[in-house]
Structure 1
Amino acid sequence: MSFFLEITNLDLGDTPVENIFINDFMPMANGTYVKVYLLGYKFAKDKDENLCLSNESISRHLNIPLSDVLKAWDFWEQKGIILKHKKEDGDEYDYKVEFLNLKQLYIKNNFMPKTSSGSGQSSNTIYTCSPEDLVEANKIPSIQEMFLSIDYIVRRPLVPNEKRKILEWLYNYNMSPEVIVKAFFHAVEKRGIRKINYIEGIIRNWYDMGIVNSEALENHLKMQDEKFYSYDRIMRSLGFNNRTPSEAEMKVIDKWFDEWKFTMEVVLKACENTKKTANPSVNYIDGILSSWHEKGINTVEEIAEKDKPKAPAQKKDKNIQAGGNNFKTRFHTIEQRTSKYTPEELEEIARKRRG
């Protein structure tokens, strides 16, 4: 297989993107974050002062929620490839975005010695989180959301030293917050282990296998851990990208596969019905699958055949209609005497009575 470019004489402009971004940074992000980065990068290359740019205009241009735009900039700032310059008297979310030179960053990170925080001696390229770094990180919404999710999973608040350790994983193993959360979920729910060192071992193993984002983790779990993959896939289909299922929700999901023997294809088909409700949930899907189970539905093809809406109830006596000629009473069962005579005989009888 090979790739080549069509040659054209019409130049509508182009935006060169550094290969370092495509090779190293793009695979670790979801598609929305990549779109926000590329559109902002294009605007930075255009240098058109007449353009009125804001996070709101990017949101409208890409047809995505404003919150996704803000999360995207937080993500790329966390990865160290942009800087946000906030205005002194401006809104908290009104800032300028500086795109750092990735070639220069590559040279700095790979060919220049780095020092750990708090020590003046040169060391390996290992980042050590300082208390000041933790304070700053807690201002980033995606980091806050990660810590809250982990608190829920381990059933207690994280202490500062644990939070600093987790931030070091983000940088040293180049992990996304979503993968960190899923590592905790994997350790606690599958192994029943809450030790921070054990979870770091999971992170290290995933890093060695090239698993640094949600998509790579999904592919890995699909092959290695079917149950964990099921939880993750279903929660994402319901729109809960960063939330792990509760213990009660896991029991319900297990029932779908273990007791009712549904396939993932059927379950995801049921999840498509969440468009009909403003509050999608595992219990809502459970109601749909319970109905399908009672109807003996086992495949997607059987849904259209066996899950048809009920026809409106019909009247028991179709002959009872307003103005109808078929209405009968008990007198209709009595044999009529006139049925014994012909029309001519009836006319003769009537003439005699008139005479």
Structure 2
Amino acid sequence: MRRHDVRKRGVPDLRIKEDHSIMFSDTPVPDLFIHDMMPKLSGNAVKCYLFLNSVSAYGSRDATRSDIADRLGITEEAVDESLLELQRMHLIVVGDTDISITDLKMLELQKRYRPIASSLPSEITQRENLNEERERMVNLIKMTFFQGIMTFMWYDQIDRWFEAYGFEPEVIYALFQEAANNNRLDGPGYANRIAEDWAAAGVKTYDQLSVYYARFLEKNKIKAYVGKKLRRVLTEYDLKDIEMWIDEFGYDQEIIDEALAKTRGASKPSIRFVTAVLKDWHEGGLTTIELVRDYEKNREAEAGRARRKQVLARDNRGNFREGEERDADSGTGYDTRMPRIDSDELEGGPDS
């Protein structure tokens, strides 16, 4: 049915007709609307939707723009705004001569299930077993985290996690546990970000998740340790550097602590300095604490030798000039250096 902009044309004398499938028409206001869509609508839009449902529940009725405004106690402009809002949410379809109320249950059913032309018996059995396992986990999630009442948006989100990321049911449960531990079950946003992180790390099974969490906890432990050692609150960039030490360089806390020790005595120790030290070790192929300590010991010894050579060269330069003067006089055994002549003597000459 063709839609039009109710803001421009207003609401003509329309016939409101029911568009519900009889099979699913058990309530004038679907629970799907109450739990998932009503919180997103304005008050006037909710009023309009409830009014349209109440009218269509008893068959088609004629209604004008002013009729709706009078019944709801709002302006005719507010009616236009509300119907436009309901259209954007796909709750109604405004045609040239009527308004159709969308069958939300049928729409949801079509989104969830796709007809399959044919399947092998083994594929059917495998799919049924998988669906039963998923269904048990979804029911457990519903009872554990939502007291038996889980909104439809969560069902959609769970299906997407199963299909897009290939998570095992136990991983989905752990995802809800993580969100609940952080009091973030008010919406799917937080859980979805966690799911993306797990998927990016290659997590699909519960065993893989256990390995991921062990690594995750170890990272957090190292980050807290570094912040304590450097006596500072770590920024987002600091945390990225630390993750580079662990993930890219492959260093554990023992080697990182060895690098942190080099900041001892610094008034403002920096992450950048520690990163430079660890990068040098990484590029040198140092993978164990023993190799690191041997490398640093040799480098300190080399630096000590270089300093001694520099000091010796500086001292030798002074000794060499004095030696030249002694060598010049050694031929006669006397002090043959030229005596100093005052400037007065040069100008006036000796007294006669």
Q: TM-score, normalised by structure 2?
A: 0.30
The higher-RCO structure (CA 8 Å, 6+ apart) is 2
- Normalized per residue, the structure richer in helix is 2
Over alpha carbons, which structure has the higher Rg?
2
Q: TM-score, normalised by structure 1?
A: 0.30
